Amino acid sequence: MITASAPGKVYLFGEHAVVYGEPAVPCAIERRATVTVEERSDGRLRVHAEDLSLDGFTVEYSGDGETPDVDVSPDLVEAAIGYVDAAVTQARDAADASDVGFDITVDSEIPLGAGLGSSAAVVVAGIDAATRELGVELSVEEIAERAYRAEYEVQEGQASRADTFCSATGGAVRVEGDDCRSIDAPDLPFVIGFDGGAGNTGRLVAGVRDLRERYPFAADTVSTIGDLVRQGERTLTEATGSDPNAVPDVVEELGTLMDFNHGLLSALGVSSRSLDRMVWAARDAGAHGAKLTGAGGGGCIVALDPTDETETALRFTPGCEAGFRAALDTEGVCVE
């Protein structure tokens, strides 16, 4: 039996635009998904899930297209186990063991579909745990690659490498197309607001695609997000090795760019009333900047604030279910 964990993430900048080859800068956060895998000989899969924005459930099935019989909404079951199935497929392929079965337990601190990279963390940790259980140890780079393939399949070709690469490596990363690499970043004062909901990633990505194809200015908006990301990366680069006293100025500049990024994402139709409320609550509380993170439509916002003011304000914001601090996690996927 092997247990592995991987971190969730927030987007400092660049979600949605990254789908079109523009750069993005996601950062791993200290909220993790843990996957425990034990081999079984009958070829079946047994998945027990906790804390994936559900009350918890267990299903057992063959993994060959059979629909699990469980008293939970079919959409929620599909969301909770679809990525596990894809991770199992990749692990079987890596170990050349197409018929092996597994008992799998998923325990996640990351709300499902909320923009914090829950699916990527589950897939990354699942692939690492399952391959190790079969006696195969993959490099971090191969785990990231196989996790990307899994998300690409589940999301019907609309995934980017950003979430899975960030979860596999930890820290701050820069992704542009197939070019993925770690970058230096100070310990940024992230504060997360969660509205208790989740956006439909496929529908939101398709909506941006439709706007981009119909209106040249929407395509320009996507390109502008890319330009903004490049400016943010330069700001982070300039902060590397600089006087620690300069970090507050760097955070202020990053916050300004985050505010711009949120406005551009709102123009592309991927924000929501609850996300906007939380963004403005954070700004009114003195945050350096705030924006939605992930696909949007509901879920989470991320703000930069070294004080307690934003976290406190979010707790009293209508529609905000939780506000919490989340430090940068420099450790990626690991064995527990």
> Contact at 8 Å (CB) between 298 and 139?
no
Residue with tokens 């090795």: 241
In Å, how far are 19, 229, 233, 262, 280 from 221, measured between CA atoms? 13, 13, 19, 12, 22
CATH assignment of 2-184? 3.30.230.10
Q: Hey, where are the domains in the chain?
A: 2-184, 190-325
DSSP letter, residue 20:
G
Q: Catalogue the active-site residues.
A: 163
* Better-predicted residue by pLDDT, 190 or 158: 190
E strand or H helix that includes residue 17 = none
Question: Which superfamily does CATH assign the domain made up of 190-325 to?
Answer: GHMP kinase, C-terminal domain (3.30.70.890)
CA neighbor of 254 nearest in space, from 9, 8, 11: 11
H or E, element range at 309: helix 309-315
Region 248-270: mean pLDDT is: 94
Q: In CATH terms, are 2-184 and 190-325 the same topology? A: no
- pLDDT tens for 97-140 read 988 999 999 888 887 778 898 889 999 999 999 999 999 999 99
181 Cβ neighbours under 8 A, 6+ residues apart: 173, 174
pLDDT digits (tens, 9 = 90+) for 190-212: 999 999 887 778 789 899 999 99
